[in-house]
Amino acid sequence: MTMATAPTKMTMAKAINTALRDAMAADESVVVFGEDVGPLGGVFRVTDGLTETYGEQRCFDTPLAESGIVGMAVGMAMNGMRPVVEMQFDAFAYPAFEQIVSHVAKMANRTRGRVRLPIVIRIPYAGGIGGVEHHCDSSEAYYAHTPGLTVLAPATASDAYGLLRAAIDSTDPVIFLEPKRQYFAKEEVDLDDTVPPIGRAVVRRPGRDATLLAYGPSVAVALAAAEQAASEGRDLGVVDLRSIVPFDDATVTAEVRKTGRAVVVAEAHGFASVASEIAARVGERCFHHLAAPVRRVTGFDIPYPPPRLERHYLPDVARILDTVDELQWDES
């Protein structure tokens, strides 16, 4: 991989842009396309400058037709290319869902592994930006439920760079969920040390009393809750899952067994959700170590709300700490 040599401050949007640049420089079969990703650089400017650098044959705009975008990616991948496509917003991706489920996810199985589809589908997702209808959603459960798809949700700029490079190098199709509210948060990034393996969670904060399990935009909220809890005498750990599929049972199980209590934090609706699956897996693997049932703090089971009501819907520090307080504690 071609990577920078010194730590630098950058946003997640810039880290993703850098990952795309480095991948395109390293492999001429990597192409980037989607709605407005060319000269404009995308709605969030994530693809800024790629057309100028690599030409319109390798980074180009498409019609407003998500099913056609993914369908074209399938054909290109079958013929030796490595397409990276952008769904402009999470809820815009639904017209492409049939292509993703029926073809992208199943082609390797259908051909007994003879035809692989190294496609990355980038999806700006989740809330926190005051987006109007169809511009904010948390659709990870649809993709996670579909065998044949790898589903990644980075929470930091460093992981966004490394996981995207790993996704582009993968021979399997990847759904790459990019938390919109993190796009322009700056952090120190060392690109020499940011290529995490797919399927590996990371402990962002060790804890003694309970473990918060989160991914994507919910990681920052979980860390803020842990900071607040520390000032109130509770020591909460935070695990950043990073990879939804494949899932890192080993790291999650080890951390929950240390504390005996777990709370899953996610923006998506709670019913039949990724959070539900995580809670079930933890319950099965940590049953004899749990001092309390696994709890969840999620979005409510309603359509994603309009901008002025968003703050009431999204999990926040107060909801997380209220849920932690509801766990069984022996205060004697």
Q: Which residues are catalytic?
A: 135
Question: What is the sign of the dihedral through the CA atoms of 129, 133, 135 and 141?
Answer: positive
Report residue 238 as tokens: 């935070």
Contact 295, 326 (CB under 8 A): yes
Q: In sequence order, what are the residues at sequence separation of 6 or more whose Cβ sits closer than 8 angstroms to the Cβ of residue 66?
A: 87, 92, 93, 94, 95, 96
What does the alpha-carbon distance between residue 101 and residue 114 come to, in Å, rounded to a whole number?
Answer: 19
Is 331 exposed, middle or buried (CB count within 10 Å of its CB: 0-12, 13-18, 19+)?
exposed
What does the alpha-carbon distance between residue 151 and residue 59 come to, in Å, rounded to a whole number?
Answer: 23
Contact 68, 62 (CB under 8 A): yes
Reported residue count of the chain is 332
